[in-house]
Structure 1
Amino acid sequence: MDETGQPQSDKRRIDTMEELSVAIGVSRPTLSRYFQDPSSVRSSTSEKIRRGLEQVEYVPNFFATRMNRKSTGMIGVIIPYLNDLFFTRLLEGIEIAAMQAGFTVITQCSHSDPAIEARAAETFMSMSVDGALVAPLGNHSDFAVQERLNARLPFMLVDSRPSTMPSVDFVGSDHMQSTGIITEYLSRVGDPPVFLAMPRVNFNALERERAYIAKMQELGHEPTIIGTEALHPASHFEAHGSAVLDRCFSQGQFTDRSILCANDRVAIGALHAAAKHGLDPGRARRGGLRIAGHDDYPLCPFTTPTLTTVAQDVEAIGRVAVQRLVEKIRGENNAQSQVVQLLDGVLKLRESA
């Protein structure tokens, strides 16, 4: 056993390509070609290297094997939050699609900070990644850095499309369609819904707010929007939804209305406020209160009551974004051939509405 309690290998440990070259009996350039592409060396040499590697303990250096390539085989991804299961699912879809295409994903998180987002973009440029997928913070992202990124390498936006970057390729949800179908549903089964918005920092929430207004006007209803300002500086998502509706319910407002939340995390906070006030939202319950969200967050089937929402096709967003980025990597990063692909949402009817 070694010092960690794991079985000790009897294989000789090799730390460098030079040592491995001597141990196997082939030149270092031949080894380098083998690690880049085994089919690039003669079959007899490839078999000799394969047998030699079985006799030693050696892990090729990821970066060293790519130094002489025009391609690093890496795709950079920037997401805004680590504690959001939506982005966990999006990253999973991206990584699976990238692996299938033969690429390795390097992930950075902007932690809701434009300066960190800009530094992550600069890091990717310094690493010479083959391309980048960015889920941006919004219009407060550093546009100058994003412009440099787009000029230097194939670059795409996913999930969110700030107005400052209208010419960049984008894959995300069709918020007009997805918000429209749940607004129409809530208007059909009860009183026209109130929209529980978010502070003006979330681009997708603003898109859904505009989509809600458009659908309400189309249906001949007066839009009602609440929660556009943060009640507390640190209140985001669940805390925001809970605080806004706690205040409304305390004043006797909206206790018998349908409430459409900007996203599921806000809706989870809304459910918390309802429980605090002894309210029981749901399409099969008395009182008229209904609460719905958007995204189909993984926890939605496990809330009490389970949350009615609109599912984004997150796996497809990741897959389509990688497919398009790989096309750009293998072709030309031509700004004239812009692609904007919007995917439909699907209504998920559960207990809350």
Structure 2
Amino acid sequence: MNKPKINTMEELSTAIGVSRPTLSRYFQDPDSVRSSTSEKIRRGLERVEYIPNFFATRMNRKTTGLIGVIFPHLKDLFFTSLLEAIETAAMEADLTIITQSSHGDPAIETRAVEQLLSMNADGVIVAPLGENSDVDALSRVAGRLPFVFIDSRLRDALPDVDFVGTDNRQSVSLITDYLCRTGSPPVFLGMPRLNSNSFEREAAYIAEMKHLGHDPVIVSTNIKGDGWAFEAYAHEVMDDLFSRGHLTESTILCANDRLAIGAIRAASRHGLFSRGREGRRILRIAGHDDHPSSRFMTPALTTAAQDTEAIGRGAVRILTERLRKSSGASDKPVFQLHEAVLRVRESA
């Protein structure tokens, strides 16, 4: 039996036999109307086909229940993993996520934050572009809404914004120590200077190498990498070096897994993943992040795995606490770092 389709609140009011204001109160909070009326509305909704307008049911609320999420690139599966953790935590908190990608473009990032303001979002979670971000635009949002940086932050701006990410010092030290214990000390392939992670991970590598008594070596290149195409950048850099016979029997620690993917592709092109007499790899490549594809590569990638579940949930938890805080509560920024774990696979 087909149910009659109801398009507006007025039509629904007539069909069920309750006033439109009562319906509005019910959709905002079923407990705000008498139990007998609530039951009448519930039974009436079972007889018709009606989907409440999300924004209309929230017009008179103090909050919209909307949380904005802005990531540099949604095609990056690391950010997709973070988004999944954020969405799950948000659903449990009865919040709705609106996701936007800045596509690596500061103008699009700015437009995204302004759109979220115009939609009266309750809070915003941003993985910023970093060095290219429009600080003024992000400051406007931070001044009006609960705001959390996730994964990376601005190095020299907005220090009072909450942040949730990985402890780069711990994670890079962890994998650097492992590589030094199991083979030749690693050289470091950094990412283009885009965000705080690029600086922090290189600094952590240098500090740990010195702590272990080794000379840190940063892969030097004239190839410019000023965008988010990390795989292509690393492939071009390492293909150039391998073709000239450099680093062909080295251990290479990449600042993230996407760089490692490009480096492994270049190494495979040059046939460098042969094994020595004892079955150990002559060339070793490791990464950072535990990108969802890293364990399915050939060879599978050894990496420092970020806790995306804890990071995503932590960002949502901070926002909800900000939204629910009582007057006079502390405005001291939250700086939450999570440790990584080592994933040892075939590549190193």
Name the TM tier (shorter chain): over 0.9
> Secondary structure of 1:162's partner?
coil
1:340 is aligned, of 317, 335, 341, to 335
Task: Give the aligned partner of residue 22 of structure 2.
Answer: 30
Is 23-32 or 331-340 further displaced after alignment?
Answer: 331-340
Kindly tell me: are residues 22 and 228 of structure 1, through their superposed partners in 2, closer, same or farther at Cα, counting changes over 3 Å?
farther
Distance verdict in 2 for CA 1:332–1:252, change over 3 Å: farther
Residues 1:262 and 2:255 are matched in the alignment: yes
For the Cα contact (< 8 Å) 2:193–2:226, is it kept in 1?
no
Alignment of 1:237-316 (within 5 A): 237-280=230-273, 285-286=279-280, 288-316=282-310
1:309 deviates by: 0.3
Once the two structures are overlaid, the 10-residue window that deviates more, 281-290 or 127-136, is 281-290
Specify the SS of the correspondent of 2:175: helix
Q: Secondary structure at the match of 1:152?
A: coil
AA at the equivalent of 1:90: L
Task: Specify the code of the residue in structure 2 equivalent to 1:306.
Answer: A
Q: 1:15, 1:185 → 2: CA distance? A: 62
Deviations along 1:211-246, one digit per CA (max 9) or x if unpaired, are 111111111211111156545777821111111111
Partner of 2:53: 61
Q: Which segment drifts farther, 216-225 or 95-104? A: 216-225
State the match for 2:205 in structure 1: 212
Asked if 2 retains the 8 angstrom alpha-carbon contact of 1:171 and 1:342, the reply is: yes
Looking at structure 2, the residues matched to 16 and 282 of structure 1 have their Cα atoms a distance apart, in angstroms, of 69
Q: Paired residue for 2:149, among 134, 148, 157?
A: 157
Q: Distance in 2 between matches of 1:85 and 1:148?
A: 29
**1:326 corresponds to:** 320
- Is the alpha carbon distance of 1:335 and 1:43 closer, same or farther for their aligned partners in structure 2, counting shifts above 3 Å? closer
Partner of residue 122 from structure 1, selected from 104, 114, 126: 114
> In 2, are the aligned partners of 1:134 and 1:157 still within 8 Å (CA)?
yes
2-side partners of 1:185 and 1:282: how far apart?
A: 20
Matched with 2:2 is 10
Q: Deviations over 1:98-155 (max 9, x none)?
A: 1101100111111101111111111111111111111101022111111110111111
Residues matched between the structures, number: 345
> What corresponds to 1:108 in structure 2?
100
Q: How do 1:43-82 residues align onto structure 2 when only pairs under 5 Å count?
A: 43-82=35-74
CA offsets, 1:150-172, max 9 Å, x none?
A: 11111111100111222211000
Matched letter for residue 55 of structure 2: F
Amino acid at match of 1:138: G
Q: Does 1:350 align with 2:345?
A: yes
Consecutive unaligned residues in structure 1, runs of 5 or more = 1-8
Aligned-partner residue type, residue 254 of structure 2: C
**CA RMSD of the aligned region, Å?**
1.8
SS at match of 1:35: helix
Q: Report sequence identity in percent.
A: 61
174-183 vs 184-193, which deviates more?
184-193
Unaligned 5+ segments in structure 2 are none
Q: What's the TM-score once normalised by structure 1's chain length? A: 0.93
2:36 counterpart SS class: helix
State the partner residue of 2:188.
195
User: Is the Cα–Cα contact under 8 Å of residues 196 and 225 in structure 1 kept in the other structure?
Assistant: yes
CA deviation after TM superposition for structure 1 residue 205, in Å = 2.3
Q: Is the 2:164–2:311 contact (alpha carbons within 8 Å) kept by the matching residues of 1?
A: yes
Paired letter, 1:13: K
**SS state of the match for residue 337, structure 1?**
coil
CA distance 1:16–1:219, shift in 2 (3 Å): same
Q: Write the letter of the residue equivalent to 1:208.
A: R
